[in-house]
Amino acid sequence: MQKVKLNNGIECPVIGIGTFMISPADAEVSVREALKMGYELVDTAAAYQNERACGRGIKTSGIPREKVFVSTKLWPSEYENENAVDETLERLGLDYVDLLFIHQPAGNWLSGYRLLEKAYKEGKAKSIGISNFEGKYLDELQKEWEIVPQFIQAEAHPYFPQGELRKTLDKYGIKLMSWYPLGHGDRSLIEEPLFKRLAEKYGKSSAQVILRWHTQMGFVVIPGSKNVAHIKDNLDIMDFNLTDAEMAEIATLNKGVRYYTRTDEALTGFALWHPEYEKA
């Protein structure tokens, strides 16, 4: 498995199994089967309400814990909960996570970031990250962090390659983990003539070409699926390389188009999640 080195020296696989919008029952199967196929990265979150299921999938896969890079996220309602990290580990059934994010710049997000820094110092999180911190939020965080994050999780795909954000990330050696990597199912992206041509050239699907673009951009990508065949196909992207000319062609597809636009109003319900809600 190809890996990227983080700014703290830890290595992270370039592709993982995502579990956003996947039920606990499906997440357990997806994680278990993905790990058995050769995946080494699992991404979940408190808000996905499937951390327990992901933990079971990791355990039943038979893959040694040290071979699995586990990523999860604290939701804003837990940012002032001093026990949030321990409760997260309990749900996952783990002694530590490899990557711990704060999920949104909402509520007392600085308190949440302090929880990450504390967990990092205590060895409960081997690396830390921020999710959806762009623009003014990232500017504010830079003034406050004691430990520079290793990751940011943000929307990224060929229609929105995060050029402006990457200027800040490159400055600090922060890696980008892509969500909506395939354009949130937008057929116009998948069916771009360029991707169809490259797919035919390399004997791959358009989706596989796009995922390979992510990894060659230096991104870590976490496509989610409950379809075992799709999970297998998503991993099968390391046996070809897009040329510099092809990467340049893909760069021309940048439309500055997001599929999700964050608004502060959209986060007014962040307290609706509570750890006791996750039972499965």
In angstroms and rounded to an integer, the radius of gyration of the C-alpha atoms of the chain is 18
Note if 113 is an active site residue.
no
- 206 vs 12: CA distance, rounded Å: 25
Contacts for 92 with CB less than 8 Å, ≥ 6 apart: 44, 51, 52, 54, 55, 58, 70, 72
Q: In the chain, which ranges are E strands?
A: 3-5, 11-13, 17-18, 41-43, 69-74, 99-102, 128-131, 151-155, 175-179, 220-221
- 84 vs 62: CA distance, rounded Å: 28
Catalytic residue among 48, 79, 113, 120: 48
Contact criterion met (CB below 8 Å) for 149 and 125: no
- 22 vs 50: CA distance, rounded Å: 8
Q: Quote the tokens at residue 180.
A: 């909506």
* Catalytic annotation, residues: 48
